Structure 1
Amino acid sequence: MQGLTICTTAVFIIGEIAGVGVLALPRAVDDTGWIGFVLIVVFTLLSTYTATLIGKCWAMIQERYPEYRSHVPDPYPIMGEKTYGKTGRYLVTITLNIFNFGSSVVFLVLAAGNIETLLTDVIKDISFCYWLMILTCIVVPIVCLGTPKDFCFRPIGVGAAISTGIACTLIIIQIFQDNSHSKNTTVHSNIKLQNFSSAFGTMVFAVSGHSVFPTIITDMKKKEDFKLAALLGYGIVLLMYIPTAASGYFVYGRDVNVNIIRSIPAGPLAYVVDILVTLHLLLGFIIYMNPVCQQFEAKVGVPKAFTWKRCIVRPLIVLVVLFIAESVPHFGAILSLVGGSTTTLLSYVFPCLFYMKLCNSNCGNKTDHPSSVIEWSLVLRMTSHVTIQTK
């Protein structure tokens, strides 16, 4: 089976991270003021850089450990193990699964909310909770597909990227049409520390797909080309984010909803945008669930090939996500909390620590040294501080 190319990898990057940012960044910018645009650019550049570090880390691990030169289900935890021993592996595994589960919940909640709004005048008897269950039944068969390198999986990334690009264009068109018919003066929110912290977490989440990047890298034809794919993917994402956030910020101001679709007036364009964004969210949900499923399957001994065991394990994992979504159906709180805690570790802390450790001549030792314990204690302190600020 051939691996992913630069363009295909870039498409997966776009399809994975672009959707939620398009919806939530206009409100996040209003909560931070004009400095929000600077923060989006800064976080995008930082995320691009740390994404390339992940690619370099995996290349070094494959060079030193031949057993990892084929596809593996848990590349990110392996990076933690080869740099900081069992402590690193456990911390990465826990953080990774919390992030992927949290992201999957956000995507499912948003998709169900969009469908409920779209069909509220047609189907009034189906509530939000029931839409969550209906969408879960729809995505379960697709979740049972293989990995990103499989041909059947590639249309998911392509569909997510294309739907988001079209949706961004239509959102901007609809916003400016609404502005041309409105005579109201735009008023912006007063910047408050709590809102600023929440927006900070949202922005970090919007440009972070690092939990899935190692899985994508292992499926690439040439692992060293990931840096080019990251530059291309993040460049296109930034071209989506800035115009959408700017149009919502300057036209609606403090009246912009946490989900930009709720701010644009009802009409044909709004309905099309709703459908496209919902499509992206469902496809993005599948992308985020894939690493979680692969790790769990490796633990319980499910074969890499498609078998009936996969059709039992993966639906059970999706049911856990459904339970969380039904319990906490407010995506804004989940988004900010996940963005300010686990995302910080996966996107900015771990890649830098792992790269520096792998560049050290003693990186192959699996035991935990006193220096490693000190480094991890500093990481945990920093993360807990960011989490408190985000809350």
Structure 2
Amino acid sequence: MGIFKDSKIYFRLEKDENKNEEQECLQENNEEGKMKKAGGLTVFTATFFLVGDVAGCGLLSFPWALSRIGYVGILLIFLFGVGAIYSATLLGRCWMMISERFAEYHDQPVRHPYPLIGQLAFGKTFRKLVSFCVIFTSCGSSVAYLLLISENLMALLPSANISYGCWLVIVAAVLCPVCWLGTPKDFWPVALFASLTTSIACVFIIIQIARDAPIVPPAFHAPLEFKTFLMAFGILCFGFGGHQVFPTIQVDMKKPEKFGTVAAFGFCTVLCMYVPVAIAGFLVYGSSLEENVLMSLLPGPVQLTAVVLLNLHLLGGFVILLSPVSLEMEDFFNVPNCFCFRRVLMRTILVCILLFVALSLPQFGAILALIGGSTMTCIVFIIPATCYLKLSSMKGDWETIEIPLHEKVLCIEIIVVGTLAGIAATYSALDALTYSHFSKPLYLS
């Protein structure tokens, strides 16, 4: 009886100790949040964060998309770029309305601002929809990053004689411990490094394409097909995605009202990377382009340098993309916001799930098109415009916002066109993942 009583006391003390540890973690995080808000990102550092978040997969996949669409794809790239700037600006306005109307969200750091925007606009059910879009987009993008990194490593180290599936396992095992670390609130140096490596890699890719031009056969451009056009549409949308991270960037800014400037500078920088690479690849390689443009470049020191630089970007990008999903899952399962066994277990399981999906669906282009046509279209175009119209029309103890008629019409056009195009692109991507086009899972080969 005494032993049983002692054991009850022991477990009570252990429980209290764990509770105190969680409270210490919460207090520490609150202090860090206050320090972060006092410091905050500048327009310059926030722009690097945006570029580091957006650029990457689009740089590698846009040449293939352009080869399937033709010259009209150049116009579409610019239209997507302008549309992404406008929708990011609308998203920034939504957050400013929330922070000005609700003091509790202005004075304290918010971990999930995008779903919160959806909740305050349309309620908790809509918040769940936004959360699903964020999770599906981030997880799908992470799978695409795993596939890209492994594909690039195969090209970088062909003499290693390691299969595609083994590379996926190796990459996931290396990235898993890095995913155990905190949140991306202090990752701006990583974003800066990712932006610089992508910019330099862009130059090396163009140089290699120019060197390949007199060597490769003349470019052949296949006739336009409706299904491939829709897949390319999804890929173009994916290349200008990343909006699920933008409110988090804005929350951490010293002057969040300047986020529109960040969006303009950031996406203009991304366009300066995408357009030259896409046009050069389209003109030199034509319809023979691979879904990953690095696989179309002739081997050599310049090509290897571009592969290394872009892999460094993708490694950092994987960790940043997965962080919002990790935080959502940890909130759902009440995992303490500090380094502990439950965090390690949760994030390890998440990486293992993504690895299984990558091994099961090793189709890089179809995955990008599926994400770009479905949830990415919602996150980039439909949700920002919808929430902006709703929040602006809400009445309360705040100044009424009158939206000009032309802006209302523009928002409605974005919602309608985005919905129709997203449905069509999603259907095309799902068709590419059917059994008639399906690649056998790597663990069965």
TM surpasses 0.5:
yes
Identity %: 40
Please report the RMSD computed on the Cα atoms of aligned residues, expressed in angstroms. 2.0
Q: Secondary structure at the match of 2:184?
A: coil
Distance of 2:174 and 2:305 partners within structure 1 = 20
Match of 2:183 among 134, 137, 147: 147
Distance of 1:139 and 1:322 partners within structure 2 = 11
Q: Does residue 222 of structure 1 match 2:258?
A: no
The answer for unaligned runs of 5 or more in structure 2 is 1-34, 398-414, 431-445
**Post-superposition offset of 1:385:** 4.5
Residue in 2 that maps onto 1:68: 105
Match of 2:75 among 14, 27, 38: 38
After TM superposition, list the pairs within 5 Å mapping 1:187-226 onto structure 2.
Answer: 187-226=220-259
Q: Does residue 342 of structure 1 match 2:375?
A: yes
Match of 1:133 among 161, 166, 169: 169
Match of 1:24 among 50, 61, 68: 61
Contact 1:4 1:221 in 2 (8 A): yes
Contact 2:66 2:73 in 1 (8 A): yes
| 1:107 partner amino acid | Y
Indicate the larger mover: 302-311 or 273-282.
302-311
**Post-superposition offset of 1:220:** 1.8
Residue in 2 that maps onto 1:264: 297
Contact 1:200 1:390 in 2 (8 A): no
Distance change (3 Å), C-alpha of 1:89 and 1:379: farther
Residue in 2 that maps onto 1:114: 152
Q: Does residue 168 of structure 1 match 2:168?
A: no
Q: Does residue 13 of structure 1 match 2:46?
A: no
**Post-superposition offset of 1:378:** 8.3
Q: Does residue 47 of structure 1 match 2:81?
A: no
| Equivalent residue pairs, number | 374
**Post-superposition offset of 1:305:** 4.0
Distance of 2:417 and 2:220 partners within structure 1 = 40
Q: Secondary structure at the match of 1:359?
A: helix
| 1:73 partner amino acid | R
Q: Secondary structure at the match of 1:210?
A: coil
Match of 2:131 among 93, 109, 122: 93
| 1:147 partner amino acid | T
**Post-superposition offset of 1:390:** 4.5
Distance of 1:314 and 1:81 partners within structure 2 = 26
Contact 1:148 1:219 in 2 (8 A): no
Contact 2:231 2:425 in 1 (8 A): no
Distance change (3 Å), C-alpha of 1:380 and 1:236: closer
Runs of 4+ deviating beyond 3 Å = 303-309, 377-386
**Post-superposition offset of 1:313:** 2.2
| 1:10 partner amino acid | T
Contact 1:76 1:92 in 2 (8 A): yes
Contact 2:202 2:277 in 1 (8 A): yes
After TM superposition, list the pairs within 5 Å mapping 1:210-359 onto structure 2.
Answer: 210-359=243-392
- What do residues 105-135 of structure 1 show as CA deviations (whole Å, max 9, x unaligned)? 00111101111221112x11x2111111111
Q: Secondary structure at the match of 1:187?
A: coil
Distance of 2:104 and 2:338 partners within structure 1 = 19
Distance change (3 Å), C-alpha of 1:355 and 1:215: same
Q: Secondary structure at the match of 2:254?
A: coil
- What do residues 299-332 of structure 1 show as CA deviations (whole Å, max 9, x unaligned)? 2223334444433322222222111111111111
Q: Which has the larger radius of gyration?
A: 2
Q: Does residue 156 of structure 1 match 2:190?
A: yes
Q: So what's the TM-score if we normalise by structure 2?
A: 0.80
Contact 1:149 1:220 in 2 (8 A): no
Q: Secondary structure at the match of 2:123?
A: helix
Q: Secondary structure at the match of 1:180?
A: coil
Q: So what's the TM-score if we normalise by structure 1?
A: 0.91
The answer for unaligned runs of 5 or more in structure 1 is 365-376
Structure with higher RCO (Cα < 8 A, 6+ apart): 1
Distance of 2:143 and 2:93 partners within structure 1 = 30
- What do residues 192-214 of structure 1 show as CA deviations (whole Å, max 9, x unaligned)? 11111111110010011111112
Distance of 1:378 and 1:300 partners within structure 2 = 37
